[in-house]
Amino acid sequence: MHRKMATLLAGALLATGATAHAAGDEEEKAVEYRESVFHVMGHNFKPMGAMMKGEIDFDAEEFATRAERVSQLAHMPMEGFMEGTADVADSEAKPGIWENWEDFQGKMEDLQETSAELAEVAQGGDKGAIAPKFKAVGESCKACHDDYKED
């Protein structure tokens, strides 16, 4: 069920990106696409953080669903960092992305790896085992935000 939901969500985002691409102004639509993917990732990540902090009750099934979504979504933003998007107005991406492309790409790969590990361990429902994997994903996000995202 979790994979089906993630697949449906990914398909919807891809369809949105494809429609935006056809609509014109390719670079602006690419920025819109990647920002949308990051927004959906944050929407799923925030409740997981609240569960880990004890702000809301830990629900192992919901956590696993959200972790799987984040893992699937982590593969999608790179498509929106296409050539020509560095100069799009109102983008939160710093120019350093294109100046340090290999480092940026490596950080995105770290996000993909850590989120996949989190999704895997979350299937077991053990909050103690989940905690270090969740922290690793958060650190992966922060590393990229610190270097490559405007405040």
Summarize the annotated binding site for heme c as residue ranges.
Answer: 141, 144-145
Of the candidates 64, 74, 60, 63, the one whose C-alpha atom is nearest the C-alpha of residue 112 is 74
Output the known binding site: 141, 144-145
- 149 - beta bridge partners? 93
Strands (E), 35-149: none
Q: What are the two backbone dihedrals, phi and then psi, of residue 93, each rounded to the nearest 5 degrees?
A: -80, 130
Residue pair 95/68 in contact (Cβ under 8 Å)? The answer is no
